[in-house]
Structure 1
Amino acid sequence: MAAFCEEFTLCTVAGSGGCALPQGPLGLEPDGDRVLLTDRGRTVTLYKVSDQKPLGCWSVKQSQVITCPAVCNFETGEFVLVHDDKVLQIWKEDDTNLDKVFKATLSADVYWIHSVPHAEPLVLFKNGAVKSLDVLLAAPQQEIKNVFSNEVIRWSEAFVEVEKPFVVFITEQDVNCFIYVQHCNPYILHKFKLDHGGESSTLLSFAVSLKNKVVTLLCLYSSGCVYKVLVPLQQNDSGEQHILPKSLLTRLEQSGTLFKCASIAILDKDHIAVTGCLDSTDGKVKESISLWNIKFQTLQDSKELPLGSTGQCWCYGDRLFVMHGKELKVILYKCETSSLAAALGKIKSTSTSETKSLSVNWNMLQEDGLLCVQPDQPVPAKGASKRLLRSGRTTCAKTQLESLTVEQLLLIIKNFSPDVIEEKLMNFLSSAQIPDFQVSIGNILLALMNRCEAEPAFYPSNCLVQLAQMQGLSYSICPGLMTVALEKRDVCLLQLCLQRFPDIPEAVTCACLRTFLSLGDDSLEKMNVNIDSVTSYIDTAPNRKKEDQSKVIQNGFSSELLEENSCDAQLTQKSHAVDTSKLCPVGPQKATLLNSILRSAYSETFLLPHLKDLSAEQVILFLQYLQFLYMKCSEQATTKLPGMFCPTINQIMDWMCLLLDAHFTVVVMLPEAKGLLSSLHKFVRAQVHFCSELNKIEGSLKELQKINNPKDVGLYSIEVLKLV
């Protein structure tokens, strides 16, 4: 089975549209968690997908046009693009102006540049020649020989086989299609002709995969037919042109419909994704993205694109990048192992080569409270001896411990108490290897969430904490986990999710923040919150805390305001007054939870609207805590507080600015905030003055560096330098 998961918008692309305007990005290239987006004009933008933020943007000159998408050179960490067909440019991430980076004019027009792991990028020219980038840079004006003359390249892809890179590209001449395999070390070219196979519709898209030295090419036609072509990496020496046959893999739609602006992407050996515009004979046009099982020829999931699509689709990892209107959408998906047993609701036995249905001994479930599932196990008669059932309990438990599967564990979750579930879950997680780890854990969490919703009294906290600690999980795999934790106010589980999940939506982050701020310190002290990370800078002694609080009037402010210009000198107060900025306004448990919020990933655009849901009291309390953290960082002259999960000074300042932006009017109008704003204002003035003095010292040191010291100063000398 395959299904869509969470989706979000990465960016807006100008000039995109539906099939009536087949524009969109020129290319999208992966670089780990980052992607290089090249538009059909002058701009290349580097995005970090998990943060949904641009990291850099570069543009060529006004009169220039990018004709080949930018790629990353994994060997050097540089970016490469081609504009105006022949001009090659190479730059690094810290370069800001493409006018000042390396340029080279080539002797032939470039079609595409392919980046390959552990090798230099491969440059494919429009005449069919392939050159390694380092070979081209050695002599940019070297002659590029024509591989063909009257053919036009339609598509290309690069691979590495046994540390030897090669390029597969397809050309078109009239109604004929040719497949080329160009090896680069050494340079060996193989040419094949693609068989028509009686298909009269238009070729729209190609996708290719490499496994076990076999290249599998998928061809999508406008009729909705997907054909499979096996491309050999070598050609016989007979000299005759070899024609590659194609076999019908699946038909995506019924007759009478026509695909337009469509593309195909391979997800795994059994699943594909198809994006495009479907036009029927009755004039109805539907644009969508769908997941198909090509093994059983079934539609798995579909998502409509009502704003139109360019038909472009890129698949990197577990993410699909699709144009929807003017937005570039990122859609997460999951694929389970495809089998007929799974499709029919049967359980596949891993102990034997054949699939057997598993029967459940419900009599034993009722008597002993245990699940004993065995292949082809007969169900005892209604009047069977209870002694016989109980005598087999030990053997059954041992067998279950050895061969407990995901399906069996799901049955346990559905029917048994939290104690039994916890025991069986620990046995399952302690197994040597869990097949399809993320999918299995996601299904287990989903089963637990479903039972929590069906039975309000059911909440296996220990099981959820144990699963949340597993490596490789994310919010998108189990989106209901944090929702249930918020309903139960399970702050320990929420803290764990905030620390481990990299893709928590901003709305959920703010919901956690409201929950943490609304809980009292007394109730948090009763919860099992690990406060080791804050003990180094927060006084956790209860008597000292109460004593300090007795010296502070309501809202945590001293009775005396500081003098207007007292920031330049050390702040002093009378013996009965307290410097409130040095007192933590929250307890250590709440401080630990708030730190997990400060360290979480977010996008300012999506976070600001949800921050406005905080009450005035929560805003003031949060600002007081942020001020306390900032003062602690300033006292220790460091950019990060001591401890494993403590925020940095940049994170503290960013959240303070976001909070003030979201509640500017509220903070200004509240009388309780006057002292806090005054203290922050004075501290900022002091920091500005301090930075100004540092700039003066920096200028003086630079002047000292310019002074030419004599080379021979002898064995001992004293030199006095006077700064005017």
Structure 2
Amino acid sequence: MCRERWRLANMAALCESFTLCGLGPGSGVGLDGGLLALEPGPDRDHVLLTDRGRTATLFKVSDQKPLGCWSAKHGQIITCPVVCNSETHEYIAVHDDKVLRIWKNTDVNLDKAFKATLSADVYRIHSLPKGGPVVLFKGGGVRTLDVLLEAPQQEIENIISDEVIKWSEAFMEREQPVLIFATEKNGDSFVYVQKLKMNNLHKYKLEQQELSKALSFTAYIKNQIITLLCLSSNDCVYKFLIPLQQNMEEEEQILPRSLLLNLSVSGSVLKGTSFVVLDKDHIAVLGSLATAGEESKECLTIWNTKFQTLQTSKELPLGTSGQIWCYEKKFFFTHGKVLTVVIYKCETSSLAAAVGKLKDSQAPDVSSFVDWNNLGDEELVISFQSQQSVALKPESGMTDASTTVFENELRQVMSKGQMPDFQATIGCVVTAIINRCKANPKYYPRNFLLQIVENQDLSYSLCPDLMVVALEKKDLHLLQICLQRFPDIPEEITYACLKAFLSISDAYLQRIDLNLESVICYLDIELNNKEVKTEIVENGFSTELEQDIWETKITKKLHVTGDSESCPVGPQKAALLNAILHSSYSETFLLPHLKNLPAQQAVLFLRYLYYLYVKCSEKITTTLPGTCPPTVNQIMDWLCLLLDAHFSVMVMLPEAKELLSKLHKFVRAQVRFYSELNKIEGSLQELQRLNHQKDPHTYSVEVLELI
């Protein structure tokens, strides 16, 4: 199976592995063994391990050592996994189903910790980053910990009667705690979604295939939609979409399913036992690999859900308990009598990686394949789950109906997301709306279009006129989101956006609402706080010691502003330009357009690229802080492109000459710096080679002098 699998540019890989700890009796292999749970600790490098007995242990993963261990007294059993309150760094557990315990790191004896006896059995406690712990009871009742502690003996409602909870998870969505849990009854699976602040509960029944059984669940939330994934006994992973914005109050809705992944390849089938989501394109599955005529082998696998391929696998000959957890790019699972940690990596998979410059790996792109043969014309009929329908036409359908009613019903459809060729359908809807905008200049539903682009995985090809109209309307926020999310924007449109961004004044941009996450953590603020530094350091070298010291007037400017360069544009324009840097492109098609960029705009863009390059070079990591900032490779690629397109103009402009000189000297200083590093590396490699040639039994003390 490993020899025949299809790899795409090494999109996922299992890296080094190590043992975190040994396991006690009853915590090893087999589905009856295993651990009660593994939960995040108070630090990113910490995990909380709860065994099926009386003990909870806090580990520091990088050091592979325990930091604390707490045990219930003899005769007591911890029945609820220990969690850490992220706000108070206190630990919370339940033993014997109803006895709640809360303690701190300094507490040694668990029996002396805070104790509260509850009125109902607890299924699980979930710790949310900003919402505090949430307690789920076996009868389906939910309470936040602070409400529960006010009256521990308060009556807890029984919601699910004779159903049994199999899995649960909690999220924070727009500062509101949301809890989801799955139950089972007579082979049927049900899902409950509870909004705690609104005391709003919805029940769903999962559509299932005959003779198949739900084995494991996982879920994530994005843009007010819960994506629930289910590992089934028929060797498939199914996806269910649950909208949080529900207008219909039905007792029980049936959630239609869609096939996400078939766990088979080249005649081999993976009998999965548990799985986790790694990113929007990858999942990891733990299970047994069965091949006809061969003995099944337990293994850990990573699958690409976009291309339906097995990316990599690792055999586990000592067996597992069938459980897997994933934190901070690491897998945790039992292997034999130890708890094993495996580091993994996943890379973005797209066509742009092969034919052009790839978007940054943190930026989203189209996550599903679109059947282009099923794209219809602009007349589109959308069937609602309530058996109603709305006919959407570029003129008549949208003119006859109220715009507000239409948009509300369309939001309801988009929240479902279960129809065939859903992306193509939404693309046709956007195209129809844009056609109406062209016919009626007064009509432009900006907020609605922005919501569609933010919440749906669209592409430029599905709605080709959207960005053209946004450019005409100067809708900079919509253009920013399109550049961040669309993976197939033509170079002509990318250039048009760049020219528009550079031509708009910073004063105008200050009045516009834009996403500034990519710039807020590194943009200069010297002009606000008047901070003055007395030394300028680049890559460990003082610029005052450089042989080619800059001119006196430049040096004075550096000491006044406190940095080697101040940002030549405001934060809004910087955020828009960052969106340009993240966009996919091919140099062959982009370069002719860049040559048409006005000289003054080209100089401004070059100044901003130079500023980013200096910022990246201030630290050894060469990465900017913040959410999805430009990478050093993207900055260098655009620098080279811009100079290729405008070099003859640059050398003629007086304001560009000084910038080119500074860029040349800065790059030359870096070349010298890395050249010295290469010399040191060569010396160390030679020393290592000489050491291997010596007699290992000879003891000596040597002094190495590097000149």
Instruction: State the TM bucket, normalised to the shorter chain.
Output: 0.5 to 0.7
8 A Cα contact 1:59 1:98, kept in partner: yes
Q: Pick from 102, 126, 145 the counterpart of residue 114 of structure 1.
A: 126
Match of residue 114 from structure 2: 102
- For each residue in 1:494-519, what CA deviation from the matched residue of structure 2 results, as whole angstroms up to 9, or x when unmatched? xxxxxxxxxxxxxxxxxxxx9xx977
- Tell me the residue number matched to 1:204: 215
1:557-598: per-residue Cα shift (whole Å, max 9, x none)?
xxxxxxxxxxxxxxxxxxxxxxxxxxxxxxxxxxxxxxxxxx
The alignment partner of 1:121 has SS state of strand
Is 1:59 matched up with 2:257?
A: no
Deviation per CA, 1:161-196: give whole Å up to 9, x if none: 111112100000112111101111132211111111
Match of 1:354 among 470, 488, 492: 488
1:230-258 deviation per Cα after TM superposition (whole angstroms, max 9, x unaligned): 01224343435211111001112149766
1:98 and 1:293 map into 2 onto residues whose CA distance is 44
3-state DSSP of counterpart to 2:108 = coil
| Matches of 1:159 and 1:427, distance apart in 2 | 35
Structure 1 residues 284 and 162, CA, compared in 2 at 3 Å: closer, same or farther?
same
2:588 corresponds to: 375
Residue of structure 1 in register with 2:37 after alignment: 27
Matches within 5 A, 1:454-469: 462-463=673-674
- 1:638-653 mapped onto 2 (5 Å cutoff): none
Q: SS in structure 2 opposite 1:23?
A: coil
Structure 2: how far apart are the matches of 1:349 and 1:52? 36
Contact 1:261 1:310 in 2 (8 A): no
Matched, 1:147 2:159: yes
| 1:487 alignment partner, one of 677, 681, 685 | 685
CA contact (8 A) 1:349 1:356 kept: no
1:16–1:325 contact (8 Å) kept in structure 2:
no
More RCO (CA 8 Å, sep 6+): 2
Cα distance, 1:123–1:518 mapped onto 2, change above 3 Å: farther
1:120 CA drift (Å): 2.3
For the residues of structure 2 that align with 1:428 and 1:80, how far apart are their CA atoms?
40
Deviations 1:278-318 (A, max 9, x none): 34453521111111111111222211111111121111121
CA 1:461–1:6: 2 relative to 1, 3 Å: farther
Say if 2:219 is the partner of 1:220.
no
Instruction: Please report how far the alpha carbon of residue 25 of structure 1 lies from its aligned counterpart in structure 2 after TM superposition.
Output: 1.0
Instruction: Evaluate the alpha carbon distance shift between residue 63 and residue 403 of structure 1 in structure 2; reply closer, same or farther with a 3 A threshold.
Output: same
Q: How far apart, in 2, do the equivalents of 1:434 and 1:104 lie?
A: 42
1:336 is aligned to 347
Cα–Cα, structure 1 residues 397 and 56, in superposed 2: closer, same or farther, change >3 Å? same
Q: Is the Cα contact below 8 Å between 2:277 and 2:284 reproduced in 1?
A: yes
In structure 1, what is the equivalent of residue 387 of structure 2? none
1:644-663 deviation per Cα after TM superposition (whole angstroms, max 9, x unaligned): xxxxxxxxxxxxxxxxxxxx
Structure 1 position 200, deviation (Å) = 2.7
Q: 1:361 matched to which residue of 2? A: none
Alpha carbons of structure 1 residues 331 and 302: separation in structure 2 relative to 1, 3 Å: same
- 1:613-624 equivalent positions in 2, closer than 5 A: none
SS of the residue corresponding to residue 115 of structure 1 reads strand
What 5-or-longer segments of structure 1 have no aligned partner? 358-372, 380-395, 410-421, 445-459, 468-480, 491-513, 528-724
Matches within 5 A, 1:340-489: 340-342=351-353, 344=354, 347-348=357-358, 354=488, 374-376=587-589, 462-463=673-674, 487-489=685-687
Q: 1:149 to 1:59 in 2, by over 3 A?
A: same
Partner of 2:338: 327
- Could you say what the CA RMSD is over the residues aligned between the two structures, in angstroms? 4.4
The 2-side partners of 1:64 and 1:123 are apart by 20
Task: Select 2:14's aligned residue among 4, 13, 25.
Answer: 4
One-letter amino acid of the counterpart of residue 312, structure 1: Q
Alignment of 1:588-603 (within 5 A): none
After superposition, the Cα gap between the structure-2 partners of 1:433 and 1:46, relative to the gap in structure 1 and judged at 3 Å, is: closer
1:497-512 mapped onto 2 (5 Å cutoff): none
Shift of 1:20: 4.2
Correspondence for 2:96: 84
Match in the other structure for 2:24: 14
Q: Deviations over 1:600-624 (max 9, x none)?
A: xxxxxxxxxxxxxxxxxxxxxxxxx
Contact preservation (8 Å) 1:341, 1:355: no
1:396-417: per-residue Cα shift (whole Å, max 9, x none)?
999999999xxxx9xxxxxxxx
Determine the structure 1 residue equivalent to 2:474.
Answer: none
| Partner-residue secondary structure (3-state), 1:185 | coil
The whole-number CA distance in structure 2 between the counterparts of 1:35 and 1:89 is 19
Q: Distance in 1 between matches of 2:60 and 2:357?
A: 40
Question: Identity, % of aligned pairs?
Answer: 50
- Judged with a 3 Å threshold, the aligned counterparts in structure 2 of structure 1 residues 18 and 62 are, in CA distance, closer, same or farther, namely closer
Q: What residue identity is the alignment partner of 1:182? A: Q
Residues in 2 aligned to 1:289 and 1:170: alpha-carbon distance in whole angstroms: 25
Whole-Å Cα distance in 1 between the matches of residues 14 and 141 of structure 2? Answer: 40
Q: Within 2, Cα distance between the matches of 1:220 and 1:465?
A: 54
Of 236, 240, 262, the residue aligned with 2:273 is: 262
Q: Residues 189-214 of structure 1, C-alpha deviation per residue, up to 9 Å, x if partnerless?
A: 11111111x35322211111111121
Residue 259 of structure 1 deviates from its aligned partner by 4.9
In 2, the alpha carbon distance for the partners of 1:89 and 1:432 equals 43
* Partner of residue 246, structure 2: 235
TM-score by length of 1: 0.52
2:192–2:202 contact (8 Å) kept in structure 1: yes
**Alpha-carbon distance between aligned partners in 1 of 2:259 and 2:345, rounded to the nearest angstrom:** 25
1:135 aligned counterpart, secondary structure: helix
C-alpha displacement of 1:223:
2.6
The answer to whether the 8 Å contact 1:79/1:92 transfers is: yes
Which residue of 71, 81, 84 maps to 1:72?
84
Matched residue, 1:296: 307
Query: How many equivalent pairs are there?
Result: 425
CA contact (8 A) 1:16 1:326 kept: no
Distance 1:462 1:334, change over 3 A: farther
1:612 alignment partner in structure 2: none
Could you tell me whether the CA contact under 8 Å between 1:85 and 1:109 is conserved in 2? yes
- Give the Cα–Cα distance (whole angstroms) in 1 for the partners of residues 621 and 64 of structure 2: 33
| CA–CA separation in structure 1 for the residues paired with 2:26 and 2:206 | 32
CA contact (8 A) 2:29 2:335 kept: no
Q: Which amino acid aligns with 1:166?
A: V
Letter in 2 for 1:290: T
